[in-house]
Structure 1
Amino acid sequence: MSENLPDGLKTFLTYARWSGAEVEPLPGDASFRRYFRIRRGEQSAMLMHAPPPNEDPVPFLRAAKWLDENGLRAPRILAEDKAQGWILLEDFGEVRMREYVDAWPDDEEQVYRTAIDALIELHQLPPGPFLDYSMSEYMREARLLTEWYCPARDLSVDHEGYTRAWETVLAQMLPRQRPGVCVLRDYHAENIMLLGGLEKQGLLDFQDALNGHAAYDLVSLLQDARRDVSPQLETAMFDYYADRTAAGADFLADYARLGAQRNAKIVGIFVRLWKRDGKRRYLDYIPRVWALLERDLTHPALEPVAAWFDANIPADLREALGGAWPQ
């Protein structure tokens, strides 16, 4: 085994009865978690290392087991050591939704419909064993833009006004997310695996699940920070979801609210990944996310937040700042 592998890996594989397996490190994500594919003959499995104190594997285990018990295709847990952060998982293979639809664009609509069918199935379930998506959590996330993006751009802005604007916009939505549905929070084309055909999809990266608004994961899928989803496909898939659910008259407005909140959060997170963690590649996604944010701000439900942006980051400056990050 490579010297770059984490301490304790060999011990855990012995405990999990996978001793002697080949270990292949996989590219990381935007966290401290690490992933490995392990092989032994014709068998393979996925190994996740989510070491405390930076990571806590318990939320992942809780969500994975709940999803699996309720008919959603989360990877099955093969072995675990919560104290050391090791989880051995079912291997979903290597066919991600992102790469598949990029390679086979004629199948794009069918694959997205299947992903939305999974959301519809999820939203028919009662709320899961998760915390509620509270106003304080929404605000913590929205403030990532003013805490990380604005300082990185040398912008002096009205922080208190930003908070008031978001509270005004989101307060109207909160009653409509009770009792709520399970919100995976990072449901997009890079976290969906295709399993043996277009009709079977596996879920990844759901450890931050909360109970919240049904529009959240829909906007996560259709306003993808890492992949261009055409406005035509977004509209068609939004309508596909709305026609098959009890989406009410306010659903489009709430979709815009959550799109703007999520995109503001993502801009802040991507700058934080650069500034704090040295992961500059995430800056390349910001123009796409900023454009999505601008579009969401045009909805009348976002008027207080849009007014804050106009006063603090005027349109001409936003156009310049929303482009590629200076080298």
Structure 2
Amino acid sequence: MPDTPASPASSNASPARDGRLQALKTWLAGLPATYGLDIASLAPASSDASFRRYFRLTATSPQGSLIVMDAPPPQEDCRPFVHADQVFGAAGLTVPGVLEADVAQGFLLLGDLGNQTYLSVLDAQTAPRLYGAASEALVKLQLASQPGVFPEYDRALLLRELMLYPDWYISRHKGITLTEKERQVLNDGFDRILANVLAQPQVYVHRDWHSRNLMVLDEPRLPGVLDFQDAVYGPMTYDLVSILRDAYIRWDEEQVLDWCIRHWEHARAAGLPVPADFSDFYRDFEWMGIQRHLKVLGIFARLNYRDGKAAYLNDMPLVAHYVHVALRRYDELAPLCRLFEKIEGISADHRYTF
């Protein structure tokens, strides 16, 4: 999941983390002197929703700095990040680049794409250019797609993600115990959603293609891309949903529709296997969004209750709004919509207006 603002290392220090920090410094000291690493300058760059953390240090690189990832085994595995960095770079995307790796210890030395995220600069003036560049980069990535490179985003994984919603959001966050009938409604809705998303064309999926993981660069024009270690091979609309219905910034529905049409036209012109009719593409986009946002509600609840990261609770209302908007449009999902409204406390007299 997305990066969160960094806090001083001392604020959440533990003996284990302090021991890893010393091991990290020892590893850096043993790297070639040609990097010109100033280990004394090591400072937190960002934290993550996972166990990973990132540091920045001064170096004799073109940027004047490099990034170090600390991904402690066995909770984290560096190999998917290294692999995705290579695949995404070969597809023409701007990625950090892995300069040095100690997979056994969970340490990576990376290029530095700066600290200016899309989210930090997005407004009505910058959005058309930035979203246009993100669309172009996404098309590049999807054009490079081939099976067997990344794990499949199969039914088992998609359903496991959906189950985070009842397990962590409904039960833990809302304190609601579903009846047998309500659980059947939920399962039937999940089956319908999964049938749609699994029928979509399959491409490389970043899985967190949103405003906190895309970086604004001076050159090239396309965004720098971060946080791709969970990449899979799956539904074509997933990453587009991630950015156009972003959990961290909201745009008018008409604007989202316009950007979605522009992306569909770009993808079709590039030869990607998008549906010939935009209405079919948009339906896929919305049904994919329901899967993603139900999952995200579960993840945000889990981050709070299991990991003590309460800031994500502030993003839940927007994510729930996205779910309700999409559910209300499709008769096939009406039972699931009514259940969702019951869980959210949305009465017939106080429904959202779209």
Compute the TM-score of the two structures, normalised by the length of structure 1. Answer: 0.89
Partner residue of 1:29? 48
Partner residue of 2:200? 176
Q: Which runs of 4+ in 1 moved over 6 A?
A: none
Between stretches 17-26 and 69-78, larger displacement belongs to: 17-26
- Helix, strand or coil for the counterpart of 1:26? strand
Q: 1 CA distance for matches of 2:235 and 2:53? A: 30
Q: Is the 8 A contact 2:204 2:233 kept in 1?
A: yes
**For residue 172 of structure 1, what is the amino acid of its counterpart?**
N
Shift of 1:155: 1.1
Partner residue of 1:285? 315
Q: 1 CA distance for matches of 2:334 and 2:28? A: 52
Q: Is the 8 A contact 1:166 1:305 kept in 2?
A: no
Partner residue of 1:139? 159
- Helix, strand or coil for the counterpart of 2:126? helix
Unaligned runs of at least 5 residues, structure 1: 320-327
**For residue 174 of structure 1, what is the amino acid of its counterpart?**
L
Partner residue of 1:323? none
Shift of 1:97: 1.0
Q: 2 CA distance for matches of 1:89 and 1:233? A: 36
Alignment equivalent of 2:212, drawn from 190, 198, 209 = 190
Alignment equivalent of 2:85, drawn from 64, 71, 76 = 64
Residues 78-89 of structure 1 correspond to what in structure 2 (within 5 A)? 78-89=99-110
Q: Is the 8 A contact 2:200 2:236 kept in 1?
A: no
Between stretches 139-148 and 191-200, larger displacement belongs to: 191-200
Query: CA 1:198 to 1:189, structure 2 compared with 1: closer, same or farther past 3 Å?
Result: farther
Between stretches 232-241 and 305-314, larger displacement belongs to: 305-314
Partner residue of 1:260? 290
Say yes or no: does 1:12 pair with 2:27.
Answer: yes
Q: 2 CA distance for matches of 1:93 and 1:312? A: 40
Partner residue of 1:163? 187
Q: Is the 8 A contact 2:304 2:310 kept in 1?
A: yes
Residues 1-327 of structure 1 correspond to what in structure 2 (within 5 A)? 4=13, 5=18, 6-17=21-32, 18=37, 20-40=39-59, 43-102=64-123, 105-127=124-146, 129-151=149-171, 152-157=173-178, 158-177=182-201, 180-196=202-218, 199-246=221-268, 247-248=274-275, 249=277, 250-300=280-330, 303-311=331-339, 313-314=341-342, 317-318=345-346
Q: Is the 8 A contact 2:204 2:232 kept in 1?
A: yes
Identity of aligned residues (%): 32
Query: CA 1:144 to 1:155, structure 2 compared with 1: closer, same or farther past 3 Å?
Result: same
Q: 2 CA distance for matches of 1:315 and 1:10? A: 49
Shift of 1:298: 2.1
Shift of 1:26: 2.5
Q: 1 CA distance for matches of 2:174 and 2:239? A: 29
Q: 2 CA distance for matches of 1:50 and 1:305? A: 40
Q: Is the 8 A contact 2:170 2:343 kept in 1?
A: no
Unaligned runs of at least 5 residues, structure 2: 1-8, 269-273, 348-354
Query: CA 1:29 to 1:147, structure 2 compared with 1: closer, same or farther past 3 Å?
Result: same
Q: Deviations over 1:57-83 (max 9, x none)?
A: 111111001111221111111111101
Q: 1 CA distance for matches of 2:339 and 2:60? A: 62
Shift of 1:87: 0.8
Shift of 1:198: 7.8
CA RMSD of aligned residues (A): 2.3
- How many residues align? The count is 315
Partner residue of 2:350? none
Compute the TM-score of the two structures, normalised by the length of structure 2. Answer: 0.83
Q: 1 CA distance for matches of 2:104 and 2:184? A: 40
Q: 2 CA distance for matches of 1:66 and 1:287? A: 35
